[in-house]
Amino acid sequence: MTTNLFDLSDDVAVVIGGTGTLGGAMADALAAHGAKIAILGRSEERGAARVKEIEAAGGTAMFHTADALNPETLVTARDAINAQLGKVSVLVSAAGGNHPDATLPPGSDFCKLPRDAWNTVFDLNLVGGSLLPAQVFGETMLETGRGSIINIASMAGMVPLSRVVAYSAAKAAVLNLTQFLSREWATKGVRVNAISPGFFPAEQNKALLFNEDGTYTERGGQIIGHTPMARFGTPDELAGAVVWLASQKAAGFVTGQNIVVDGGFISTTI
């Protein structure tokens, strides 16, 4: 008998950060394979637009405002999702980002890095980007004995990229927490994995990678030069990894793993 390994029609998937470019693409992919989608974020306008796109493609989706750093808003969202769509079985934690004050331009002094800027980036990526969502939605998964948590990490968590020291440290912590939870919950029906995207142009990093005329910045050119595929990724190229990890049929024995989607970039740095 043939089984559709990627049929997610029995799943309810929460995508925190689903209003963004990469989170939105992953939400679209999960919906295309049958999952009912709950988009969580702070922008109701962008959330409603993402829901409209999913529904126009034949999917089922809802939006709920939430701040990934505020557990009370996450609990409120979780309870609303459980009531409207059913028990959450997939969590994609895609909240995160960097801040200019926490970067180190060439020639700058690491000893002068502001503590507040460090804390902001670390909390956003580790606490809001992994810890609190896993606690809130993991509680439902442990109750039902079924779930897949997918944390969005980064290559910067594997190799400390220049300049983005706080971001790199936070993403390294995300990978460590992913492995810890995978071990803790392995016998309880909850799988915990991570995806580390390479360089995917989005609004947040566009100015870092491209000049106004569309040519590469110095930084962008360096990245392309270290990427064997000689290009940046496109958001839809994360679809396979997130759908695979979400599926109990396809990845039921996969936990504690970090799936790198980077066009080969990491192979030139380790």
Percentages (nearest 5) of helix, strand, coil residues in the chain: 50, 15, 35
How many structural domains are present in the chain? 1
- In angstroms, the CA 250 to CA 11 distance is 14
Active-site positions read: 167
Tell me whether residue 203 is in a domain.
Answer: no
* CATH code, domain with 259: 3.40.50.720
Tell me whether residue 4 is in a domain.
Answer: no
Q: Which domain holds residue 255?
A: 12-198+233-264
Tell me whether residue 98 is in a domain.
Answer: yes
Tell me whether residue 36 is in a domain.
Answer: yes
Query: Under 8 Å CB-to-CB from 39, ≥6 apart: which residues?
Result: 15, 18, 19, 24, 27, 47, 50, 51, 61, 62, 63, 64
Tell me whether residue 162 is in a domain.
Answer: yes
pLDDT (tens, 9 = 90+) of the chain, 270 residues, equals: 457 999 999 999 999 999 999 999 999 999 999 999 999 999 999 999 999 999 999 999 999 999 999 999 999 999 999 999 999 999 999 998 888 888 888 888 899 889 999 999 999 999 999 999 999 999 999 999 999 999 999 988 998 887 889 999 999 999 999 999 999 999 999 999 999 999 998 877 888 789 988 899 888 898 899 999 999 999 999 999 999 999 999 999 999 999 999 999 999 876
Tell me whether residue 269 is in a domain.
Answer: no
| pTM > 0.85 | yes
Tell me whether residue 216 is in a domain.
Answer: no
Tell me whether residue 86 is in a domain.
Answer: yes
